[in-house]
Structures are given as structure tokens and as C-alpha cells.
Amino acid sequence: MVRIFQWVVAVLPLIAPSMSQAENKYSIKPAQTPVPQGLNESVRKLLGENSIQFLGANGAVICEIWFSKEVPVKATPAQIKNGLTYRELDESTVMGAVRYDQPSTDYRKQKIKPGLYTLRLGYQPMDGDHMGTAPHNEFCLLVPAKIDEKPDILDAKELREVSAKAIGGSHPGVLLLFPNEKPEDTPKLLDKGNNTWALATKLPVTVDGKRSDAALGVALTLVGQTSAE
């Protein structure tokens, strides 16, 4: 028994650093970086002044996100009381913008080039091609900032077409959204397992054009890919 205890004590220091390194693989940091000039002015004015930087293990910025100051929802008092979901927003609503400082990949394993993109809400098509490819059906679609000229609502087909230009292929660039039913005041980086990391925060909302006391919880996947081939 003594020998087993001594072996455990000897091994623990070897295990602890690897656990610590895993925990410190990514981090977030609040910043006050001005909203990029590369966005159309009508989009820029929708975004909050503060940003959130997503950092790699070496401390370098992978990307920086500016969320919308508020998002319009269509919700009944009962829905607000029970907690808002992404489904209370119109598809293609502008959720924010992101600037990638380093090459990255989206949830579909597609390459994202460094650059500036808007983030628009999108719903996964309910067809056989998409069944089982993601745990949830809501995404933020990347749209190159230079072609996103105004924040108007787009139909689903147009949204996917303009987002595909972010990737340079036929499929839109997609970042999975996890539910965030109990959003906290301070943004957090959530480890969702399987090397999937999501930025959790909450967005103020308007109902019928008026600011509400309610908020929408958001959890945007910044690292993570589908297991589907």
C-alpha cells in the first residue's frame, strides 16, 4: 500500500502540468478596440464599442469579436419569461462581426482566411444532407464585410450565397451556436468537450422596437468541428 501511495505521489506532478496546459490552451480577454472601419457604416453603428479577443496558448490573438449592442426579437411575454432562444430572431439578423488575425476553420472544417466578417444568424436546413451533422441547428454565418453593405434581413438562399463567399466555395462559412439558457454578465469561454470551445455572453434585446429587460444568451463556437464526414 505504501508503495502504491508513493507511486501516485510521484506521478501526480507529471499529470498536473498536462491538465494545466489543456485548461490554458485558449483564453479570452475584454478589449476596447474600435469597431473596424472595414465594416459598412450602417453595420458598424449596430455594434458595441467593446470587443472580446480570443487568444491562443501563446497569447496571440486568433480573432476578435464585436457583438451587436442589441438584437430585435419577436417574443411573447411568456417566451420572454421562459427564456429567449435564437428562434425568436429573424434568420440573417446581424449578431456581430469578427476579425480573424490568423487562419482558422469553421464548424464544417472549411478554411477561414484572415480578414473581417459580419456574423449573421442562420438556421441549418432540415433535410437529409444535414441530419446528424451538428448537435444544434443554429449557427452564425460568416459574410465578408466588404460585401455586407447593409444590415437588412436577407432570405435564406441569399444569406447562404453571400456567406459562401467567405469560404470561397459553395457552402456557407458556419460557426455553431450552443444554447446559453442562463447567460452571465461576464463573458466566459466554455469547454464543450472534444476540443470544442464556445464564447458565452448575453446580448440586450428589443421587443417591438423597445429595449427590454430580457437578454439573449449566446454561445458562439470559436474552435470545434463536426464529426460528420
Question: Above pLDDT 90, what percent of the chain?
Answer: 83
Q: CA dihedral defined by 46, 52, 54, 57, rounded to 10 degrees?
A: 170
Q: CA-to-CA distance for 12 and 159, rounded, in angstroms? A: 51
- 141-166 pLDDT per residue, tens: 999 999 999 999 999 999 999 999 99
> Whole-model pTM?
0.87
Identify the pLDDT of residue 23: 56
- 114-125 pLDDT per residue, tens: 999 999 999 998
Tell me the three cell numbers of residue 195. 476540443
Q: CA-to-CA distance for 170 and 183, rounded, in angstroms? A: 34
Q: Any residues with CB less than 8 A from the CB of 109 and at least 6 apart, and which? A: 225, 226
Q: CA-to-CA distance for 216 and 222, rounded, in angstroms? A: 19
Please return the burial class of 71, using the count of CB atoms within 10 Å of its CB with bins 0-12, 13-18 and 19+.
Answer: buried
Tell me which DSSP letter residue 146 carries.
G
Helix, strand, coil % in the chain, rounded to nearest 5: 20, 40, 40
- 13-66 pLDDT per residue, tens: 333 333 334 456 999 999 999 999 999 999 999 999 999 999 999 999 999 999
Q: Can you tell me whether residue 77 is helix, strand or coil?
A: helix
Q: Any residues with CB less than 8 A from the CB of 110 and at least 6 apart, and which? A: 167, 169, 171, 173
- 61-90 pLDDT per residue, tens: 999 999 999 999 999 999 999 999 999 999
Nearest-CA neighbor of 163 among 221, 105, 92? 92
